[in-house]
């Protein structure tokens, strides 16, 4: 197989740069144009972080990639734009330009080479690579959506729904998502190409557009392929004439992706229900991660030790699993910052695990945010903020992990922007993490909006630590509801009988503003709990 000619590559480059995937970002256009032309001209040695920083981002003088991640983050954006372009364009005469992970030097693949590699690695809709071993990660097929309205003008919108959902799931690193031209339930093929023969499909997401008079609806269902059992179904109704149909369907697809692929979403709740009631003492990475998700949905301090043990075993068994390392780092940081008894841990070990997880998944916004969280509780605010900003860029506008990232941004001191993004995430994500309301409680408290602080404290609804009753106690005390505040003060002491002795240290693991710490202590004092 001969390599594509320079003329073919430049033609493919022109089409890419003119596409919507690149037209919106001048930086992405300049990045891709520079690396492709340098590769064609035999100047691979020039394709480095320092050269890109100067040529593409106009960085002058000394450039330190350890403190300025702009090149790495932009490379991630270019990779996602390339993946999206090739998901939505099937020109049989195109050369495919690929930016492999771990390098900024592009590869040029002929059409035949592209078809050969797609079933194995291809783009992110097929597999997430070495995040989990192939036999561990569940496979979900997003099938073509049927247009049953009788209106052929809606065909292209129906075809785009599966792609929108897959792109919405792009930030997941512990499930394999396949956009298929075949419905494995009905075996109806809408375009050429069956499912790969060696793929064991567990779940199928399918749906249809229907019309009843002037009302358009989108019906979606999640099916277990082996049994045909319906796990979940949802109907979205277009009942606002002023909203364009395309905008309605795009919003519905985004909601389906959030409901399906959030850590507390439908897919993971279903997977958790399949787990045996007894904890496996020798779990693989995916089972250990599911146990962690299960603990998040219903925190039980007594079960926390088993969750951590499972992740420790998974890390030893599967050295490729960066996400298991990141989750274990988050558990260790929780243990240290919340003062859980019985499981000794060094916070430096949490940081090592977080950075190892990030090195294995350098473009993953979740592992980036976990590294930032560990830095936050360690008082390394500069690094925490840097990781939060990088996670925000890597999220690419997705709401999937925006709640945790915005929580981190807010506690890092970006009160206005962080809280605004956090409210956006909460409003748009029906399965957002409840603990993130704690950052909005702190933001309301610093503005002396004690009624809102109480509302956010009540929305936190976690039973795993002293923080939930502490937030309620402080807000109630500042509102003058002393009897209620005293009741929650007693809940604090149930969690931490010696709380007043090290309360200042515990509070400052998350709250870095001295004035806000003083306000929290004042509320506790009003409720009769003096903090030394």
448-473 pLDDT, tens digit per residue, is 999 999 999 999 876 678 999 999 99
- Quickly state the pLDDT bin for 396 (edges 50, 70, 90): confident
- Quickly state the pLDDT bin for 168 (edges 50, 70, 90): low
d(CA 116, CA 113): 5
Neighbours of 296 (CB within 10 A): 17
pLDDT on residue 195? 41
d(CA 273, CA 289): 14
Residues 6+ apart with CB under 8 A from 441: 453, 456, 457, 460, 471, 475
- Span 377-385, mean pLDDT? 94
pTM: 0.65
Residues 6+ apart with CB under 8 A from 464: 299, 300, 301, 304, 338
- Quickly state the pLDDT bin for 518 (edges 50, 70, 90): very high
Q: What is the 3-state secondary structure of 435-492?
A: HHHHHHHHHHHHCCCHHHHHHHHHHHCCCCCCHHHHHHHHHHHHCCCHHHHHHHHHHH
Listed ranges 12-16, 114-118, 196-200, 216-220; the one with the highest mean pLDDT:
216-220
- Span 483-495, mean pLDDT? 94
507-517 pLDDT, tens digit per residue, is 999 999 999 99
- Quickly state the pLDDT bin for 412 (edges 50, 70, 90): very high
What stretch of H or E contains 307?
helix 301-317
d(CA 167, CA 170): 5
- Span 230-240, mean pLDDT? 87
Enumerate the H helices of 169-300 as residue ranges: 245-261, 266-273, 285-297
Burial class (CB in 10 A: 0-12, 13-18, 19+), 159: middle
Q: What is the 3-state secondary structure of 434-446?
A: HHHHHHHHHHHHH
- Span 91-107, mean pLDDT? 78
């Amino acid at each position: 197989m001969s390599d594509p000619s320079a003329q073919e590559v430049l033609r493919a480059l022109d089409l890419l740069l003119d596409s919507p995937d690149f037209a919106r970002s001048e930086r992405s256009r300049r990045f891709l144009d520079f690396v492709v032309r340098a590769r064609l001209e035999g100047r691979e040695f020039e394709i480095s972080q320092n050269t890109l920083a100067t040529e593409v981002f106009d960085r002058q003088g000394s450039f330190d990639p350890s403190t300025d991640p702009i090149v790495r983050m932009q490379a991630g954006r270019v990779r996602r734009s390339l993946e999206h372009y090739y998901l939505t364009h099937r020109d049989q005469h195109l050369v495919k330009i690929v930016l492999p992970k771990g390098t900024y030097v592009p590869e040029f693949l002929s059409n035949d080479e592209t078809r050969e590699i797609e079933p194995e690695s291809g783009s992110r809709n097929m597999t997430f690579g070495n995040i989990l071993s192939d036999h561990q990660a569940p496979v979900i097929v997003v099938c073509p959506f049927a247009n049953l309205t009788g209106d052929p003008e809606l065909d292209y919108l129906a075809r785009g729904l599966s792609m929108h959902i897959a792109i919405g799931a792009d930030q997941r690193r512990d499930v394999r998502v396949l956009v298929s031209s075949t419905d494995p339930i009905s075996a109806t093929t809408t375009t050429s190409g069956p499912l790969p023969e060696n793929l064991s499909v567990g779940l199928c997401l399918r749906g249809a557009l229907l019309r009843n008079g002037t009302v358009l609806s989108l019906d979606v269902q999640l099916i277990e392929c082996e049994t045909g059992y319906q796990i979940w179904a949802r109907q979205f109704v277009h009942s606002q004439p002023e909203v364009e149909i395309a905008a309605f369907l795009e919003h519905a697809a985004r909601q389906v992706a959030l409901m399906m692929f959030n850590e507390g979403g439908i897919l993971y709740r279903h997977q958790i229900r399949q787990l045996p009631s007894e904890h496996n003492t020798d779990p693989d990475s995916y089972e250990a991660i599911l146990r962690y998700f299960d603990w998040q949905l219903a925190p039980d301090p007594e079960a926390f030790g088993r969750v951590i043990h499972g992740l420790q075993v998974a890390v030893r068994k599967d050295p490729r699993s960066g996400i298991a390392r990141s989750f274990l780092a988050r558990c260790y940081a929780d243990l240290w910052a919340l003062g859980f008894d019985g499981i000794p841990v060094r916070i430096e070990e949490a940081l090592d695990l977080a950075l190892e997880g990030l090195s294995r998944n350098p473009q993953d916004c979740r592992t980036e945010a976990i590294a930032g969280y560990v830095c936050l509780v360690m008082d390394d605010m500069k690094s925490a903020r840097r990781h939060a900003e990088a996670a925000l860029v890597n999220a690419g506008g997705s709401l999937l992990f925006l709640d945790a990232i915005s929580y981190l941004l807010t506690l890092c001191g970006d009160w206005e922007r962080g809280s605004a993004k956090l409210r956006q995430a909460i409003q748009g994500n029906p399965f957002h993490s409840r603990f993130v309301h704690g950052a909005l409680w702190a933001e309301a408290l610093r503005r002396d909006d004690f009624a809102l602080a109480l509302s956010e404290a009540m929305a936190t609804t976690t039973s795993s630590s002293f923080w939930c009753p502490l937030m309620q106690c402080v807000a109630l005390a500042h509102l003058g509801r002393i009897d209620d505040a005293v009741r929650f003060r007693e809940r604090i002491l149930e969690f931490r009988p010696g709380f007043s002795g090290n309360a200042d240290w515990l509070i400052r693991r998350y709250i870095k503003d001295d004035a806000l710490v003083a306000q929290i202590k004042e509320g506790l004092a009003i409720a009769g709990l003096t903090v030394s």
